[in-house]
Amino acid sequence: MKRSVLIILLALMTQLNRAQDDPYLWLEDVDAKKSLDWAEKWNESTLKVLTGQPGYEKMYDKILEIYNSTDRIAAPSLYGNLIYNFWQDEEHPRGIWRRAPIQSYLSGEPHWETVLDIDGLSIEKGEKYVFKGASGLYPNYERFLVSLSKGGGDAIEIYEFDVKNKYFIQNGFFIPEAKGNADWIDQNTLIVSTDFGDGTTTSGYPKQVKIWKRGTDLKDAQLIFDGKTDDMGIWGYTFHTKDRLYQFITQRTSFYSGMYYFIENGELIKIDVPEDISLSGIFKNQVIFDLKSDWNIGGNAFKQGDMVSISYDGLINGKTTYQLIVRPDERSSITETSSTENVLLVNMLNNVKSELFRYTFDGSWKKQKIDAPEYGNISLGSADENSDTYFFYFQNFLEPSTLYKGNALSGEFVKVKALQSFFPTENYQVQQFEVASKDGTNIPYFVVSNKSMKYNGKNPTLISAYGGFEVPRLPSYSAITGVSWLEKGGVYVLANIRGGGEFGPKWHQAGLKENRQRIYDDYFAVAEDLLSRKITNPKKLGISGGSNGGLLVGVGFTQRPDLYNAVVCAVPLLDMKRYHKLLAGASWMAEYGNPDIPEEWEYISKYSPYQNVKKGMDYPEVFFYTSTRDDRVHPGHARKMVAKMSDMGYKVYYYENTEGGHAGASTNEQRAKMAALQYSYLQMKLMD
């Protein structure tokens, strides 16, 4: 038998074996007619039920009104003396990228000038474009690199755009669709991370970085770093200041580990730091790092969670003169940093409530607390590297987002705009509780309810949580949750389970890989505590989550179906046997483990929802939804789970949006529809 024929036969046998192991594998073929027809049939049946619920149209209209409200805060991005903003509303469903002078913006009645109309561009090009951001050329910001996605996925096209004359530059820089990025070195030079035609990593991210000169072909750009196929990804960046340009490359060998290289005088310099360290920024020629583990260096015993710095020149010359900037305690963590001309801003969490600090540097670090609003969630906005102007937002469950403009050096700030409330927040209360998980660890959670709530075990209650990737879940105002759930008599719960970043790296790492069951035990402990406090009962308790949170709720209803009567499972991971073979899945093996290694599949297999769903169980009627254009978490996860459960005889609901990427929606109409479907389902299942 010829070798070529043997290879074909072996390939066919492999495919047949896989199909026998998983009869729903065909649903992983995203755009196959058979798959799309299957999804369309499910859409029809699900929409018939959920849009037919009493009050659906009224709820959809109200949610769309919220999304399209002109009273929303126009999030400012500072570039010189101009504020840029991306805006979507009823008139501009795909959005406009616009700008206004900063003084006009601060006056409360900005004179907006449209720079780029995404709706018009989509019509002109015959594509469903989604705006994915833009980066300006320092210091004049007359040229931008504009990122556009077809349908909302992570893969983007990058175009050079002249904002002064408002057009894409003919024969200018253009990078074809890929999961990559580009940064300016100067007007005629970019550092580019993309698929240059030699393939990507197994995670679908760039494995090469090149320097691209204007007037040359992208394929002829100068290769400066060539990674490995099994790396997570390779990215190059620049950081501009008045004094110098910094260029660096990060080689991510996994989601939480990698190496850093700086480019100095055209040469790569590898930085001698722990592989799990995270580069946070550069300020006053100090390179700032976050520590994910203890580190003894230069006579200092730094702790997990610390933020440290070293001069750039010392770093590239192998010095060890690191200084401590911040040391969180057991109940605090660093959530984000930003910098102005003279101040490093550090946003902290203290028992899941934000505190804002400013640090100055004159050879050593000096700290002062900014008297920002308390008992809520602060998030840093745009900051100006040429002055001490910056923006930040504050919100909590019952206080809508408010934008402030601050002077980082003086610590003073003023209110720019506060959102109106769409529901009577004065009628509601927020309580924070803690419950001991299975191993004794105390897990905090928030309960938002009407002040008149009765502890009779009959309140419709929805738990939201995430539990992964060191992502904290923080108090935030949601007008949609307010009008669609709280005002209907519902109780909303936010659970701060392990796996997140609420208490720093240790909180996250406690649930990695073989310890993941701890996260799910935390989740169940919160639910059981709600029952013991007589806030609700299993017939009135629902859960919702997306992405890793979709995995969370998938584990929730397969391991403890006795606890819940409603499950919203959005853009989820569910098939943990094949997750690493689908789209960006390989990049998450540092979080979950590698199912191809028997010892690691041993613990993954115990919770993977797709493998653990069984016949004859009393599962709730789950509502799954995803997007055809999600190129991060494969829609096959949700599709296959629905097909499998349906064939087992379970009643489920499924909706697949044809665009929207991992966010599930691209326009306000799509966002309103997804939210209305979700709350229509929850009201149907949990409210009498």
Specify the amino acid at residue 387.
S
Whether the ω angle into residue 460 lies within 30 degrees of 0, i.e. cis, is no
| The pLDDT value given to residue 154 | 93
Cβ-based neighbour number of residue 489 at 10 Å: 16
The pTM of the full predicted model, rounded to 2 decimals, is 0.93
| The pLDDT value given to residue 7 | 41
Of 92, 508, 580, 662, the active-site residue reads 662
Of 547, 587, 627, 680, the active-site residue reads 547
**What is the token pair recorded at 574?**
């569910």
| The pLDDT value given to residue 21 | 84
Distances (CA, A) of 482 to 62, 394, 464, 525: 11, 18, 14, 25
In DSSP terms, which residues pair with 414 in a beta bridge?
405
Q: How far apart are CA 578 and CA 591, in angstroms?
A: 15
Based on the residue annotation, tell me whether 662 is a catalytic residue of this protein.
Answer: yes
Q: How far apart are CA 94 and CA 52, in angstroms?
A: 28
Based on the residue annotation, tell me whether 364 is a catalytic residue of this protein.
Answer: no
- DSSP letter for each residue of 70-139: TTS----EEETTEEEEEE--SS-SS-EEEEEEHHHHHTTS---EEEEEHHHHHHHHTS-EEEEEEEE-TT
Q: How far apart are CA 552 and CA 569, in angstroms?
A: 9
Averaged in consecutive runs of 10 residues, what is the pLDDT profile of the chain (688 residues)? 44 43 96 97 98 97 94 95 96 97 95 97 96 97 97 94 97 97 98 95 97 96 96 97 96 97 95 97 97 97 98 97 97 97 98 98 97 97 96 98 98 96 97 98 98 98 98 97 98 98 97 98 98 98 98 98 98 98 96 98 98 98 95 95 98 90 78 97 95
**What is the token pair recorded at 274?**
């722990």
Q: How far apart are CA 142 and CA 163, in angstroms?
A: 6
| The pLDDT value given to residue 664 | 65
| The pLDDT value given to residue 515 | 98
- DSSP letter for each residue of 568-629: EEES----TTTGGGSGGGGGGHHHH--TTSHHHHHHHTTT-HHHH--TT------EEEEETT
Q: Parallel, antiparallel, or unpaired for β 323-326 and 307-311?
A: antiparallel
Q: Parallel, antiparallel, or unpaired for β 461-464 and 442-450?
A: unpaired
- The full set of domains in the chain, from first to last, is 33-64+422-686 (3.40.50.1820)
